Amino acid sequence: MAEPGPPAAPATTGSFAALRHLLPALPAGKLALVGSLMVLVSLTEGFGLFLLVPVIGAVGGGALPDGIRRMIAATGLPMALAPLLALCVGLVLVRAVLQYVRTVEGQKLAYGLVDNLRLRCFRLILHADWRTLAAMRQSDNASLLITNIDRIDMALHTLIAAVAAGVTLGGLGLAALAISPVMALATALGGALVLFAYRGLRRRAVRLGEALSEANDTVYARVLESLGALRLIKSLSGEARAARALSADFAGLRRAQLAYTRSYARGQVVLQGLGAGVLALAAWLAIVRLGVAPPVLLPMAAVFARAVPLLGTLQENWQYWLHGLPAVSDVARLAARLEEGAEAALPAGGAAPRFEQAIELSGVTLRHAQRDSDALTGANLTIPAGAIIALTGPSGAGKSTLADIVGGLVSPDDGRVMVDGVALDAAGRRAWRSRVAYVQQEPVLFHATLRENLAWACPEADDTAMRAALSVASASFALDLPDGLDTVVGDRGARLSGGERQRIALARALITRPALLILDEATSALDTENEAAIADAVTRLRGQVTVVIIGHRGLLSGIADRLVVLERGRIVSDSGTSPPAASS
């Protein structure tokens, strides 16, 4: 079943549109519970303030209006002071408990939504087509997954608080209507005018939210780029320049944040002034024009005193919710883009081609967006099972593109790819990748133990299988490390040399027992000794695993059965189809 989540949003999401994006991801039962608790909290507070009328009347505060007296009699409330006070205390306790449960359940509701959004976006990234991912700036995705979704978290919390304030105001309004309908309606009109006066600030909050999203993306891009280029920065003595650039980006972020803070603070000043004015006008109306009796005036004053700060809470949280709307739009746009570029589902049964004969490319062409020339044009190539093929040529000739197509990472725009005579469709490519292993120029190791790094490729592999893969990959040195397979390799394998990292990456690829192994410039940055070790490992695979080597020159190209030369996206030379030699 597809996970619920936000659909596409073409531009900044409006308030109600944002709710349509988020509501499908909220559990209906939890949402109904939180809404019911809000109503109950509101009703208990409103009824508690209404009880002030008979309490004041019971202590001789003046005669009650006939309408209120009949209403109290209809409810069966006692007019004695002691039971009325006990009832007030009981209502306060009930409201406190309801408020506690509402707060906890509201937090759980918001956290659940945010966690679902974050996981859903991450899964969409994982399952997107490679060409879609390659066209995206991953720092933007990191910023969205962390900062923007955290902003949605905050925005959702403030929305819940705004709705709670609005519902509580509704309960106070009911109490005020019961006590003095004229005063209640006049004050409600004043409160509505106050909120209407803030419409400009609320629109500005959306614009400031968009500026904050851009500033966050800039900071994340700078941080990730700088951390990935630490060696270069230090080698060029660029520490000061890097720090200044990040400082400038942080300054931009702070300007965006302070702009909202100033806008919000100015609004609070205006709100307090307008609220005090509405309260004073209501008091003047009650005393001078309506001649309201003290048993009615005092409870109404308590209602108004409670309502003014609630009006401020409603406006504050409403404004912050709007400030967070651009983050909702960003998530919706990412989800739409990734869903559009999602890979096809695995075929029923998930069976991958056996690959016992050959991989055949016929008229294969691939185009990159915003490029004048094709990355690969009309490629025809046959790769026999068990062969070692070297793809050579200058940078940008199309070697990696050809390997990506052979390995099922991308599909061609034109032409056909077949494995043992079976054409690979979109779903078949995903199944085929389960039989392909890939070792890139810069090996990717996780900050974990050797065992955990190897298990990434084959979780069910035991120590015997891991030792065998290390041996085949000329990486038996790993077993001689102080902690053996439990050695922590450090961030990106920093505790190992470049050659050691590459051989561990090769062992991780081989532990899957692949039918096809792709080595993308796997030895270009290694010394002669490490290059020879990997070349020896690959030579021992001859006839057992089909190997595609991408490289300009070196030992690996020298051990290949065939050399395929590419230039400007075209195959210009193919040395022939030598049968694979048997493994010794």
Instruction: Please provide the DSSP assignment of 359-424 as one string.
Output: EEEEEEEE--TT-SS-SEEEEEEEEETT-EEEEE-STTSSHHHHHHHHTTSS--SEEEEEETTEE-
Name which residue leads in pLDDT, 310 or 70: 310
Cα distances (angstroms) measured from residue 105 to each of 27, 233, 253, 316, 491: 12, 48, 33, 22, 39
Average pLDDT over residues 514-529: 77
- Name the 3-class secondary structure at 548: strand
Which pLDDT value is given to residue 292?
Answer: 66
Of the candidates 519, 505, 514, the one whose C-alpha atom is nearest the C-alpha of residue 392 is 519
Position 332 pLDDT exceeds 50: yes
Say whether pLDDT at 515 is over 70.
yes
- Please name the residues in contact with 217: beta carbons below 8 A apart, sequence gap of 6 or more: 139, 140, 143
What are the contacts of 78-82 at 24+ separation with CB within 8 A?
A: 79/54, 81/55
Q: Which residue has the tokens 């298990």?
A: 455
Confidence bin at 203 (pLDDT 50/70/90): confident
Query: Residue 5 has what pLDDT?
Result: 44
Q: How far apart are CA 556 and CA 552, in angstroms?
A: 10
Question: Contacts by 89-94 with C-beta closer than 8 Å and gap 24+?
Answer: 91/44, 91/47, 91/48, 91/51, 92/48, 94/44
Reported as a pLDDT band with limits 50, 70 and 90, residue 475 is: confident
How many angstroms separate the CA atoms of 497 and 449, rounded? 15
Report whether 114 contacts 328 (CB < 8 A): no
Q: What is the 3-state secondary structure (H, E, C) of 226-259?
A: HHHCHHHHHHCCCHHHHHHHHHHHHHHHHHHHHH
Residue 1 has pLDDT above 50, yes or no: no
Say whether pLDDT at 162 is over 50: yes
Q: Is the pLDDT of residue 540 over 70?
A: yes
Relative to beta strand 388-392, strand 376-384 is: unpaired
3-state secondary structure 33-96: HHHHHHHHHHHHHHHHHHCHHHHHHHCCCCCCCHHHHHHHHHHCCCCCHHHHHHHHHHHHHHHH
Average pLDDT estimate for 502-510 = 86
Listed range (271-275, 305-309, 459-463) with the worst mean pLDDT: 271-275
Q: 479 is written with which tokens? A: 């077993």
How much is the average pLDDT of 314-336? 80
Confidence of residue 211 (pLDDT cuts 50, 70, 90): confident
Reduced to 3 states, what is the DSSP secondary structure of residue 440?
A: coil
Are β-strands 436-439 and 546-550 bridged in parallel, bridged antiparallel, or unpaired? unpaired
Instruction: Say whether 2 sits in a helix, a strand or coil.
Output: coil
Looking at per-residue pLDDT, the higher value among 364 and 276 belongs to 364
Cα–Cα distance between 569 and 414 in angstroms, integer?
14
Phi-psi region of 388 (alpha: psi -120 to 50; beta: other; left: phi over 0): beta
Q: How many CB atoms lie within 10 A of CB 193?
A: 11
| d(C-alpha 444, C-alpha 228), whole Å | 13
**Per-domain residue ranges of the chain:** 15-340, 358-574
Rounded-to-integer distance, Cα 482 and Cα 486, Å: 9
**Cα three-residue angle 514-515-516, rounded to 5 degrees:** 90
The residues near 119 (Cβ < 8 Å, ≥ 6 apart) are none
Q: For residue 519, what are the β-bridge partners?
A: 439, 549
Amino acid symbol at 193: L
For residues 528 and 365, the answer to whether their CB atoms sit within 8 Å is no
Residues 6+ apart with CB under 8 A from 355: 385, 419, 420, 435, 515, 516, 546
Please compute the mean of the pLDDT values over residues 187-200 and round it to a whole number: 74
Q: What is the pLDDT, as a whole number, of residue 11?
A: 45
pLDDT band at 582 (very low <50, low <70, confident <90, very high): very low
Q: Which residues contact 343 (CB under 8 A, 6 or more apart)?
A: 127, 128, 129, 426, 429, 430
Burial of 27 (0-12, 13-18, 19+ CB in 10 A): middle
d(CA 408, CA 435): 10
> Strand pairing of 376-384 and 570-574?
unpaired
The angle subtended at Cα 17 by Cα 13 and Cα 19, nearest 5°, is 110
Q: How confident is the model at residue 317 (pLDDT cuts 50, 70, 90)?
A: confident
For the stretch 220-267, pLDDT in tens is 788 877 877 776 677 667 788 888 888 888 888 888 888 877 777 777
For 532-540, the CB contacts below 8 A with 24+ separation are 533/474, 533/499, 533/503, 534/473, 534/474, 534/499, 534/502, 534/503, 534/506, 535/559, 536/474, 537/472, 537/473, 537/474, 537/503, 537/506, 538/388, 540/472, 540/583, 540/584
Distances (CA, A) of 2 to 5, 25, 28, 323, 431: 9, 11, 17, 30, 20
Residue 474: name the closest of 521, 526, 542, 540 by CA: 540
User: 103 falls in which pLDDT band (50, 70, 90)?
Assistant: confident
Sheet of strand 414-419: strand arrangement? 376-384, 358-366, 414-419, 422-423
- Architecture of the domain whose range is 15-340: Up-down Bundle (1.20)
Q: What is d(CA 490, CA 112) in angstroms, rounded to the nearest whole number?
A: 33
Confidence at residue 57, expressed as pLDDT on a 0 to 100 scale: 62
The string of pLDDT tens digits covering residues 292-313 is 666 677 777 777 777 777 877 8
Q: What is residue 550's three-state secondary structure?
A: strand
Give the CATH superfamily of 358-574: P-loop containing nucleotide triphosphate hydrolases (3.40.50.300)
- Residues 377-395 have pLDDT tens digits of 888 998 898 888 888 888 8
Q: Which range is least confidently modeled, 10-24, 229-243, 370-384, 486-500?
A: 10-24
- With a cut of 80, say whether residue 164 has pLDDT above it: yes
* pLDDT the model gives residue 8: 41
More confident residue, 500 or 230: 500
Q: What is the mean pLDDT of the chain?
A: 78
Beta bridge partners, 418, equal: 360, 423
